[in-house]
Amino acid sequence: MARRFSIIGKEYKFNVSINKKGITVNDRDYFRAIEYLWTIGKNGKSQIKNCPKLKKSNHIDGTINKAKKYKIDGWVGTFEKQKNIEDGNNSLVILARGKLIHEDILKDLKEAGLFTKYIIGEINANFVDINNKPDMATSDRQNLKEDDPRFIELKKYIQEKILKTIQHDWVGWRRDNSTKQALENKTINSWYTSLSPDKQKYAKKLFGTIGSFPSDSIEEKKELYKHGILAFEKLALKDTCVFR
């Protein structure tokens, strides 16, 4: 319920209660597990305060079509670990006028990057619910009509601007964070510092790949580092590197 209404709380003068207990933003438990955040549009930055474990953030303008005044705001976050994602939370919902109007636009986009497996977000797109234009909602009021020009523009912006920005940032931030974690191991740190600056760049990519591996097992990560470094050294002996 907390997720289906973006305008709950005193600031909007709109309250939703269950058994006389008011639902608040604090009931959106996923905020506590968000590692990186991308704020969108005029009001997006207001969500930063709700993410106590936030490491990095970036801002996206949110202007889809300036001439038509198509703008969006909201946020997209990624979790540190896949285990933090509860059923139904790995989605990007669309809201209009404070109500959920499209369950998950991620399913409508052709994006297969690993980062999408860690995503959660809410996008407010009031321009899809305008009184003097045709109704875009399907009969169940849970999705938007895919052939509507406004929906096509929305999808294109999310695909080409928002998701591409997230992918670029996420890969870099995860690589840097994975490098930091890897270098906490004295043996790995010693090996890394012995490399030339050029080879350190490829080592960071190796750390990033291992850090993104969907496993929380310390032993599995150790094995990955072991075999990854051995392969790295074998290639280095041939003065060749295939880590791209």
Closest CA to 153 of 66, 91, 58: 66
Q: Which amino acid is at 75?
A: W
The pTM for the full model equals 0.80
Distance (Å, whole) CA 236 – CA 243: 11
Q: What is the pLDDT of residues 54-70, one digit of tens each?
A: 999 999 999 999 999 99
The domain segmentation of the chain, as residue ranges, is: 10-175, 183-237
In the chain the first and final C-alpha atoms are separated, in Å, by: 43
Q: What is the pLDDT of residues 107-147, one digit of tens each?
A: 999 887 889 989 999 999 999 887 677 677 776 667 888 88
243: pLDDT strictly greater than 50: no
153-188 per-residue burial string, b: 16 or more CB within 10 A, e: under 16: bbbebbeebbbebbeebbbebbbbbbbeebbeeeeb
Q: What is the pLDDT of residues 197-240, one digit of tens each?
A: 989 988 998 998 888 776 667 788 888 899 999 988 887 776 55
